[in-house]
Amino acid sequence: MERSAEDSRLQALLGRLGAVRFRTALMVGLFLGAGGVKRLTITLLAGTTIAASGLARRDEVGLAAAYVLIASLLVWGPVCIYLVAGSRADVWTEKTQAWLTTNEQRARVISTLFFGLLLTTDAVLGLLQQA
């Protein structure tokens, strides 16, 4: 598919999303936020990892609480920012979208390097602890 066809489909989708009323957005958000296979799978994996870690019960509860807090912030943070900022959030979103479109490859390389460095550091520290 051509890049211009993708852009026009994206613009049409964003236009339709821009016309959604608050009540409709709230109902769809509540419906999608209530579950979802991917979200439930990630939650089950996180819970299983915490339970199998062999940590003390207090530490397990702390990790579970941290997981819930971070997951909630990632979902509700942008919603709260939009409710507080109003139309300014639209401007921020447009600027961010334009920057990401312009710097897509740079953002991909930076994020890949960051996570690669993070995982490599974790692996090296794990090896050092075993030695």
What is the pLDDT at residue 1?
52
**Same structural domain, 26 and 43:** no
Q: What is the pLDDT of residue 28?
A: 72
Let me know whether 20 and 52 are in one domain.
Answer: no
pLDDT digits (tens, 9 = 90+) for 6-50: 777 777 777 777 777 778 777 777 776 666 677 778 888 888 888
> Average pLDDT of 94-123?
94
Specify the number of domains making up the chain. Answer: 3
Backbone CA torsion sign across 101, 103, 106, 107: negative
Could you tell me the pTM of the whole model? 0.51
pLDDT tens, residue by residue, 63-84: 989 988 998 888 888 888 888 8
Model confidence at 61: pLDDT above 70: yes
Residue 119's pLDDT band (cuts 50, 70, 90): very high
Q: Are residues 29 and 44 in the same domain?
A: no
Residue environment code for 1-40, b if the CB has 16+ CB neighbours within 10 A, otherwise e: eeeeeeeeeeeeeeeeeeeeeeeeeeeeeeeeeeeeeeee
**Residue 23: domain span:** 1-34
Q: Are residues 75 and 44 in the same domain?
A: yes
- Which pLDDT does position 53 carry in this prediction? 86
